Chain A
Amino acid sequence: MHPPCLMFLVLLPFVFLGHKTRKKERKDRSLSVGVLSMCSTMRPCSLTLLLVALSLLLSFPPFCSGSAASPGSAEGFTINGRVKIPGLAVQAFGVSGKPSDAKVILNGGSKITFLRPDGYFSFHNISAGTHLIEVAVIGYFFSPVRVDVSARHPGKVQAALTETRRSLSELVLEPLREEQYYEIREPFSIMSVVKSPMGLMVGFMLIVMFLMPKLVENMDPEEMRRAQEEMRSQGVPSLASLLPGAARQ
């Protein structure tokens, strides 16, 4: 595979040619704002959801009031949330293989769960305190989410994206951006060939070929003759003398 050393030196710049400009990353998507549903395991969720919806209407922080779970009980709390992937939601979950590979990870791997067909997920038996939820889907970049589960007010939770420090009112996780793992091959263009070291080499030669004679023509013929003679006397080999047939002269 190795070319001769000389050729390698000549082509050194070419080695560095492989990089291309990256596809522009999409602008961060904004997150939809809704209700963060959070209820204790001891209570049917529908009622709490209703209460949460009510509290939203009154623009108060959401509460699961009257929860039966006491702080620090063995049962713990439940975190419910949803992962929304814009491009895939249209194709419907479950049809393509990809969303089934999505994982939702709590606290760096202590608990892992998967998405239901509608994108919902839940963690059960969670202690009060601060937790971190990460979503791993190939092709998307999700910000980890900080979730605070209050011990004093059972059910009171707060969630915030740790990357952007944006707080969420509903635990709906959307990717910040799509991830493109491969470089995009630029479509063929004359410019890319011209810009390549080979193209530059050819271009430079063309310049020498066609522009240099023009420069020479512009010179005073007498001056030129003097220069040529000078060159001949010094014995500097001209281009012509290097070529076959030049010996005739």
Chain B
Amino acid sequence: MAERSFFLFLLLLFLSSAVEFSASIFEDQVGLMDWHQKYIGKVNHAVFHTQKTGRKRVVVSTEENVLASLDLRHGDIFWRHVLGPSDAIEAFDIALGKYVITLSSGGSILRAWNLPDGQMIWESFLKGSRSSKSMLLVQPSVGAEKETVLLAFYGGFLHAVSSIDGEILWRKDLGSESLEIQQIVQPVGIEVVYALGFDGSSQFAAYEINARNGELMKHESVHFSGSFSRENLVVSDGVFVALDASGSILVTVHFQNGEYSLQEMRISSLLGGNFGKAKLLGAKLPHMFALRNDKLTGFLKVTDEGKLETLERINNEVSISDSLSFAEKQRAFALVQHNDNKVEFRVKLGHEWNKDLLQETVNIDPNRGHVENVFINNYIRTDRSYGFRALIVLEDHSLLLVQQGEVVWKREDGLASILDVTTAELPVEKVGVSVSKVEENLHEWLKGHILKLKGTLMLATPEDVATIQGMRLKNSEKSKITRDHNGFRKLLIVLTRSGKVFALHTGDGRIVWSLLLRSLRKSEACTSPTGIRIYPWQIPHHHALDENPSVLVVGRCLPTDSGPGVLSFIDAYAGKEFDSVAPTHSVVQIIPLPFTDALEQRLHLLIDANQRAHLYPRSPEALTIFNREMSNVYWYTVVAENGIIRGYAPKSTSVNEGSDEYCFDPTDLWSIVFPMESEKIVAWVTRKLSEVVHTQAKVIADQDVMYKYISKNLLFVATTSPKGTGEIGSATPDESSLIVYLIDTVTGRILHRMIHKGCQAPVHAVLSENWVVYHYFNLRSHRFEMSVIEIYDQSRADNKDVWKLVIGKHNLTSPVSSYSRPEVKAESQSYFFTHSAKAIAVTSTAKGITSRQLLIGTVGDQVLALDKRYLDPRRKTDPTQAEKEEGLIPLTDSLPIIPQSYVTHALKVEGLRDIITVPAKLESTTLVFSYGVDLFLTRLAPSRTYDSLTEDFSYALLLLTIVVLVGAIFATWILSEKKELREKWR
């Protein structure tokens, strides 16, 4: 009896745990399986705030539209705001010593942020009517002022804005069709604002405006015989410098004391011989400016008499900081030169060119490339002399603080702009290496587990809890650089926009190696290189175990499709580029083929702009393999602009003399043309190549079987009416409808087509196994919706008969071919979903047995895990008992959002762009990596870790139980002995 009830109880326990969907965690488990890294991106501009005592900080704005305040001591982030994608920060400055004023969104939004905590204080919208340069002028605060007036120029209007509440004090229209204001200047202590610019191509125009009320005081224009280029600069309040359109004539305009005089000067006469086309460097220097051509940089000084003097010509690449005023009206600026792996950092005084105030050499890893930007700041040393520190932005987008010839801190902010991710296994652990140092000492081990037991029984003191937490986080097991049994430890190899490749350890997120790719650096042959994708190239397991795995990085030289491609091969362990190809052909599409050669190198087809296929690796062996398998190779292209999808196959080329035998011409197989006036392609997805499907059959209630239609050649395409591609709400429900297609990419056959009336883009979709889930906007109910389509193979549906299986009259072993006409059945269902999505992914496990979860990147930059069972077209409002037992959830109109199933828990992956899942070796577990400005990695077990004990499993409790049981056995034994003895005496 007792036994039966006990088992019943266990069964109940089992069932109750199976009903729980979300793999949620406890608060003290944060950081055990996950890591989160915060980045800001490539710094555009930096303003230091070090005057006051207290926390020294530097405020930076970046290319990722991030405004951040960094700790100057350690480089940590005090606060940070990620602005919208169209809200790039044009300019910012610190006003009154407590507000950060930003001008963003093309110059139309002015915001003030509280410097200590980043709270937005006010927001002001500027109005303009024309497109123009936008500028922000914040007067440096002198003493303890209560208010300063900010000057912002946007859309042809000059606005004076109060720094206290953002109220617009006055605005002045400075514009006509041809007038372009280029500079706004207000000399210190004078209530006159100078607005300088060009009227037409050859007229210099100047406006003097009263800073108090915005009245126009004077308008002046000076004619220039040539035509101006748009490069110009104001040097020390009184001199406007510009270049002419050819870049060979320097024009200076002196505008002090209300008089305007224009001077022209040939650059060649100033900087000698053949200077060529010059560029004006933007750095604001005292009484001087810098010009650069391809080879050298020249410094020119403007003397008090208005003459120009050549100061120096520097051959090397040089970066110049803006000048900084310190002490009594002294101004200094920094020059940074890059020689090999040394950076020479010089600080010069404004009025004395020949003397260096400071000269330091700093060793910087050559892997960081050259210096792109430098910002300086001064401090007072203990001996009352002035010291300087510099913030250096490097080619790989990293940020360094240099002080006294040392790098104080560095930030790898290139990781904020990841383009693509792949993974590589770590090396196998060598025999003889001690397995784990943690478990060496049994006493320590036991003590740790007893502490853990106290923790689980809630008996631990706060100190104990802290020890437990520290012990868990320090667990050296997870950060070793060897392969582990469960496959949790891997290398994440990420390609960033700067052309740097990083290998991150999945255990703790540290950088194992990083490499600035030589082939993705700017050169004469390659003017604006960008990386596109990264692929695993060689995954050695059977034949070539001694080889290191390697990855392939594909890039192109120009941002357009037709730009010549660049290939680079990197050793995934050593982090070295061992080969690179700079092919002449362009790269539009990369297709990894499911074949490998004897060295386990994967065959790849690179499709160029003319749809010709180029085979890599270029070896005769690869060619043999490809020729053998060529009849099974197909590819397709989606041209979204023209609404055409085309299918191709390679044509076997007759080998002519001189022709490239690794290049194959395409044969057109099929094409689908969508009518441009009614349908526009907005999204398309296919199955992930590496996805594993465990079973084709799906057993449903009442012992029935459904056969999934599983094809690697399935393509999901979503189109909307042209009106529906705009932003949400820009179309009326009648104007837009969403049409989804499931297409076989070998034959071009449309397997399924469905219309969602009154729905519009953006569409995010994911295709896996035999289903596709997509997220879109429903205009009728004005909510987001998610739909699921599952397709089943009907031709196998009558294989249910056991007798047929026994006799062998089934078609289960018949090959699946795209050419055989499939009898498919598609089922679909739609649900409301609260949030807008930024990305959708699905978990993937090693064998595909574990149930799947959808991972949805929400608009709040969180990642929500949603069980696939919620998106099942068989859900109905009142499922039968049998269906309930099968796990069918009763139908609801919207998908539930359970806070505990946010995989990012209380963290945000700012600027979330994509989510990647990588299967671990343990079937139940998958690694989830989401990236944007931040990085976040965690382990996820969609059906709980059914094949392994969890990390917080209490061994001590187990031991205790065993001890109690053994004790009880002895107790009963003694009792029974005694009893027996008594009975024998009786």
A contact residues vs B (CB 8 Å cutoff): 1-3, 7-8, 11, 13-19, 22, 41, 74-75, 93-94, 97, 99-101, 103, 105, 107-117, 121-122, 124-125, 127, 129-132, 134, 136-139, 141, 143-144, 146, 162-163, 179-185, 187-188, 193, 196-198, 200-202, 204-209, 211, 239-240, 243, 245
Residues of A within 8 A of B905 (CB): 181-182
In the assembled complex, the Cα of A139 lies from the Cα of B781 at a distance in Å of 27
B700 at the binding interface (Cβ < 8 Å): no
Contacts of B955 in A (CB 8 A): 3
Measured in the bound complex, the distance between the Cα atoms of B93 and A167 in whole Å is: 42
Known: A134-B835, A181-B902. A3 touches B949 (CB 8 A): yes
Shortest beta-carbon contacts, A-B, top 6: A136-B860, A188-B458, A112-B84, A16-B17, A179-B899, A108-B836
Q: Which residue of A lies closest to B965 (CB)?
A: A205
Which positions 887-903 of chain B face chain A at CB distance < 8 Å?
894, 897, 899-900, 902
Which residues of the partner chain B approach A94 to less than 8 Å between Cβ atoms? 114, 117, 119
Let me know if B37 is at the binding interface, CB within 8 A: no
Interface string of B23-35 (1 = CB under 8 A from A): 0111110100000
Flag if B860 contacts A100 (CB, 8 Å).
no
In the bound assembly, the distance between CA atoms of A105 and B908 in angstroms comes to: 15
A13 to B120, CA, bound (A): 52
Can you spell out 17 A-B residue pairs with CB atoms less than 8 angstroms apart?
A3-B958, A11-B958, A18-B944, A110-B84, A112-B84, A114-B81, A122-B125, A136-B860, A162-B834, A180-B900, A181-B900, A183-B24, A187-B458, A196-B957, A200-B10, A204-B6, A207-B2
Inter-chain CA distance A92–B9, complex, in Å, is 51
Question: Could you say which residues of chain B place their CB within 8 Å of the CB of A103?
Answer: 860
Separation in Å of the B780 CB from the closest CB of chain A?
11
Query: For chain B residues 945-968, which have a beta carbon within 8 Å of chain A?
Result: 945-946, 948-953, 955, 957-958, 960-961, 964-965, 968
Beyond A109-B836, A183-B25, A204-B6, 5 additional pairs, beta carbon < 8 A: A41-B125, A110-B727, A114-B111, A138-B907, A202-B961
- What distance in Å separates the Cβ of B799 from its nearest Cβ neighbour in chain A? 34
How close is B350's CB to chain A, nearest CB, in angstroms?
38
- Tell me if B782 and A162 are in contact (CB < 8 A): yes
> Do A141 and B20 have beta carbons less than 8 Å apart?
no
**A181: contacting residue among B3, B119, B906, B964, CB under 8 A:** B906
Q: For the complex, is B457 an interface residue (Cβ under 8 Å from A)?
A: yes
Report the separation of the CA atoms of residues A7 and B961 in the bound assembly, to the nearest whole angstrom: 12
- CB pair B900 A163 closer than 8 Å: no
Residues of B within 8 A of A75 (CB): 127
B84 and chain A: residue at smallest CB distance: A112
Number of B residues contacting the other chain (C-beta, 8 Å)? 94
Min CB gap B64→A, angstroms: 13
B860 touches A138 (CB 8 A): yes
Closest to A196 in B: B957
Residue from the list B83, B86, B121, B729 in contact with A132, Cβ < 8 A: B729
Closest Cβ–Cβ distance, residue B609 to chain A (whole Å): 32
Are B949's CB and A8's CB within 8 A? yes
Interface residues of B in 852-885 (CB under 8 A from A): 858-862
Could you say which residues of chain A place their CB within 8 Å of the CB of B448? none
Complex CA distance for A161 and B436, rounded to whole angstroms: 56
- Name the CB-closest residue of B to A122: B123
The one of A74, A107, A201 that contacts B729, using a Cβ cutoff of 8 Å: A107
CB-defined contacts of A125 to chain B, threshold 8 Å: 108, 125
| Contact of B85 with A109 in the complex, beta carbons under 8 Å | yes
Q: Does B631 contact A (CB under 8 A)?
A: no
Bound-state Cα–Cα, A200 to B784, Å: 48
* Interchain CB contact (< 8 A) of B899 among A121, A181, A202: A181
Our pick among B14, B730, B950 for the contact of A13 (Cβ within 8 Å) is B14
What residues on A are CB-neighbors of B129 within 8 Å?
A: 74
Point out which of B18, B79, B730, B946 has the most chain A C-beta atoms below 10 A from its C-beta.
Answer: B730
